[in-house]
A and B are shown apart, each in its own frame.
Chain A
Amino acid sequence: MTTESAVLEEPVVKKQELPEFELVNLTINGQSFKLKLQPWVSLLDAIREYAGLTGTKKGCDHGQCGACTVLINGKRINSCLTLAVMRDGEAITTIEGLSDGVVNHPLQDAFIEHDAFQCGYCTPGQICSAVGMINEGRANSLEDVQELMSGNICRCGAYNNINAAIMEVKSKMA
């Protein structure tokens, strides 16, 4: 049995038109990046491969794991599900933007203290997501945090420690 036999008949090779490169202006962590890229580049790949900020991770490229979570104007978003050209001029914050190199975001310190990770791969997404969740102002209890952090998978299973870190930071903010 032969499958996909249609292609056997006569491969018609057409000159493919590829998308044009465009100049996109991304503001990441307060810094302006003028990037020449094609419109099919996701925000995630633009951040990682074009702006060179590799703290943001790719775990599925399908919006199923949350590893690529960044903040746009303070709101959390899966950066693999948006195109870079759609974010021209918006304020993007990645994990690298949460610490100034001297003072960390309180969540970053709490994550270390509570051992809220093992391999660390989902961690940038978890922290950005937690920042976004706190901004949303809907998480009033541990149960809320569990529910609202369920878009970020941690395969190492550090959830209880992640929640402990978030609850500690929230209690200090209150």
Chain B
Amino acid sequence: MKTQYIGKPVSRVDGLAKVTGSAKYSADFKVEGMLYGYIVSGSIAKGRIISIDTSGAMSLKGVLQVFTHENVSGLPWFSIKYKDMDAPTGSPFRPLHDDKIIYSGQPVALVVAETFELARYAASLVHVSYQEEDFTTDLVKNMDQSYKAPVGKLGYVSPKSRGNADEAFDQAAFKMSGSYQHGAEHHNPMELFSTTAIWENGKLTVYDKTQGVSNCQFYIGNVFGLAYKDVRIISPYVGGAFGSGLRPQYQLFMAVLAALELKRPVKVGLTRQQMFTFGHRPVTLQQLQLSASTDGSLESIKHEAFSETSRFENYTEIIVNWSGTMYNCDNVKLKYELVGLDMYTPVDMRAPGAVTGAHAIESAMDELAYELKMDPLIFRLKNYADEDQTEEKPFSSKELIACYREGAEKFGWTKRSIGPRSMREGNQLIGWGVATAAWDAFQAPARAKALLSIDGKLIVSSGTSDIGTGTYTIMTQIAAESLGLKIEDVTFKLGDTNMPLAPLEGGSWTAASVGAAVKGVCEDVKKKLKKMAVKTKTSPFYDTSSKDIVFDSGIISDVNDSSKSISIVDLMRIAGVNSIEETSTSGPNPINKMKYTFNSHAAVFAEVKVDEDLGIVRVTRVVCAVAAGKILNPKTARSQILGGVVWGISKALEEESKMDHQYGRFMNHNLSEYHVPVNKDINDIEVIFVEEKDDIVNPLGVKGVGEIGIIGVAGAIANAVFHATGVRVRNLPITMDKVLQIAEDDKNQVAV
């Protein structure tokens, strides 16, 4: 069969719905008789609620109830019932459970009223008095409390050291040491978290913003003691999530609680301020020590990371492990520890761990290259890892060299002068930096259903999610191609627990996981059609071999004799079959997984211009060359990488949730003070997908592109800033004050 759709730049199949306003996000479902909930956020970081005065709110006409820990009962005592599929080890937060306050911004009451405005006003009349306790939210001041990160969170693997890095470091000719710090970040998808819950005839229907409808069904079923079959979660469109939707958020709990108690539909949405109260990318401190011999071969890598977590859960991510696989080196010493603080548990945020670790290791590589007086790209090539030294396994495929080559060529890297402060344009110092990125190519078990009806239309469904990633589109492409249909005859549906089970949508694994299930189920339908073709007496293929049958654009024909053909519609009609329905499960190949390491890779080249007087950094050009296996749709995949690069620019230069340690609260909890790039901040971004064929990783040969675009960007930019200014800012984001301050503090640096 000829390729028709896979690999083609098909425009999003949900594009029309999105540009006309008809795409329904979680807050867009209006239900008859719906009430509005507004959440009251606690104002202290730690302590106890002494009393909550709800009388002012309750006295208002139109306020139905104010839920607090004092009047919510009958929910499970054991915190294990609150565990969701992405929960780290520990004891999950239980909203309105008791009088304890364990973090600032914790929801302490839910006001439910006839209108949104009334609920909001009534919430302002709820008065809470607290008994405060001592708390601490500063990672830097609590490093002595660190402990080894436990295993147990989905996907987490402990770091493995090898050789003797201490000894090699001591004896090496060239070395560097550096400490790197990352501020906290919040996902801030444009869509606010919102849930509408409807309790009717013993069944619960919930419209939610989530990256996993099944996870929410599991959570709600367990918390409220409902049978899973009586809980339906629907989430057809998600207005961005970036990891924040992996765990059920507290507005879901609140809406369901109120709907069950009041027996009326309830919508509860969070404010933008409240979007800073349920998990973030953790503050992380890293120590890097690298050494190399005189020819530029890496002798040792020592990488330690310390991350904050809450007091009640051990949030873990893979930060330092990447230093063991990124480059060829026999002596590697890795350490990853956590520090519990009085804050909410961090949650996965785009490329969790990898983006944090990559900034540090890629900056350190750049620093060592300067010590060696080697071009940083040549230094990376010199230490290229042909195999995964940690697991002692080959990569299923690794076209990183092609990324370096094609990226460097497009960027014009060879024109780079090696010294810092050696390129300028008036008062703009110009710097070029490079960095490498890697991410896991996961696959998880997934199910999909296909329904082919007699009009030749195919509906494929799976309970996955599309957070802007393009799931609707690529699944439609895979289905159309697998069954040889025209793309307009295929509809893909997702985001409903009535559909077959799919894993959480994250970690760049949806294309592989759900894609394999969609391909599998369409192949099952095809088998049925082939059988029908050779068994039906009036079929042109009656009593022939099904091996020669091919499918294209809804027509079944003989591969050797194209005049012998029948449309799928006609075949089903003569066979007297109204519809064909199949459900199929697919999962990773465990033998391949044991034999190989599956990684996607990228090389990022960045140009910055730094104002010599003010220290303002602008990213003027980025080239991101990606090796991620088969690219199913270059249009939507390019958008994913563009978005990743924008996130990387943001991480490098703009975003940080600033904690006021005096109050244990994030100060800049709004979109005017939490800086993310606006249109004017973004300039040229070039995306390259290098050819990478991989028959081992999964049946589609895809590796996913959600994460790989962001990982190398902050490192490339930090390195470019050094190249431009001679100032090494190891603390993200790189803001103008840091650039100027470091230049001033370090007598060896030329002032910027």
Contacts and interface: CB of A to CB of B under 8 A. Distances in A.
A155 B25 contact: no
Given A150-B678, A155-B240, A52 B30 contact: yes
A121 B240 contact: yes
A3 to B, nearest CB: 6
B488 to A, nearest CB: 15
Interface string A32-46: 000000101100010
Contact of B129 (A3, A16, A56, A155): A3
Interface string A67-109: 1000000000000000000000000001110110000100011
Contact of B191 (A41, A57, A108): A57
A1 B60 CA distance: 31
B638 interface: yes
A53 B21 contact: yes
A23 interface: no
A151 to B, nearest CB: 8
B652 to A, nearest CB: 13
A156 B132 contact: no
Given A53-B21, A119-B239, A160-B685, A67 B12 contact: no
15 contacts: A2-B129, A11-B55, A45-B117, A52-B30, A96-B22, A112-B19, A118-B240, A121-B191, A121-B240, A146-B679, A152-B679, A156-B240, A158-B642, A158-B643, A161-B639
Contacts of B59: 13-16
B469 to A, nearest CB: 7
A15 B55 CA distance: 10
Contacts of A56: 21
Interface residues of B, number: 79
Given A108-B19, A123-B19, A158-B639, A59 B191 contact: yes
A24 interface: no
Interface string B50-68: 1101011001111000000
Interface string A119-158: 1111110010000000000000000011101111111111
Given A65-B671, A163-B679, A120 B635 contact: no
A13 B60 CA distance: 10
The 6 tightest CB contacts between A and B, nearest first, are A55-B21, A157-B646, A121-B239, A119-B468, A118-B468, A120-B18
B257 to A, nearest CB: 22
Residue from A1, A55, A96, A99 with most neighbouring chain B CB atoms (10 Å):
A55
Interface of B: 11-12, 14-25, 27-28, 30, 43-44, 50-51, 53, 55-56, 59-62, 115-118, 121, 125, 127-132, 188-192, 237-240, 242, 269, 271-272, 467-470, 635-636, 638-640, 642-647, 670-672, 676-682, 685
Nearest to A49: B116
Interface of A: 1-5, 7-8, 11, 13-16, 18, 38, 40-41, 45, 48-49, 52-62, 64-65, 67, 94-96, 98-99, 104, 108-109, 111-113, 115, 117-124, 127, 145-147, 149-163
A47 B492 CA distance: 30
Contacts of B43: 3-4
Given A18-B61, A115-B639, A59 B130 contact: no
A132 to B, nearest CB: 14
Query: Chain A contact residues: over half helix, strand or loop, or mixed?
Result: loop
A60 B269 CA distance: 11
Contact of A62 (B44, B643, B671): B671
Contacts of B25: 54, 57, 121
Given A60-B272, A150-B679, A45 B642 contact: no
Given A54-B30, A162-B679, A163-B679, A16 B60 contact: yes
Given A16-B60, A18-B60, A160-B682, A153 B190 contact: yes
A94 B21 CA distance: 9
Contacts of A18: 60-62, 118, 121
B191 A147 contact: no
A117 B18 contact: yes
A55 B639 contact: no
Given A1-B131, A153-B678, A59 B190 contact: yes
Contacts of A112: 11-12, 15-16, 19
Contact of A161 (B23, B642, B670): B642
B117 A38 contact: yes
A61 B273 CA distance: 10
B190 A121 contact: yes
Given A41-B117, A119-B240, A157 B647 contact: yes
Nearest to A4: B129
Given A124-B21, A159-B682, A118 B470 contact: yes
Contacts of A146: 679-680, 682
Residue from B118, B639, B640, B685 with most neighbouring chain A CB atoms (10 Å):
B639
B117 A104 contact: no
Contacts of A16: 56, 59-60, 125
A94 B20 CA distance: 9
Nearest to A94: B21
Contact of A118 (B118, B269, B469): B469
Nearest to B639: A115
B19 to A, nearest CB: 4
A5 B20 contact: no
Contact of A115 (B23, B239, B635): B635
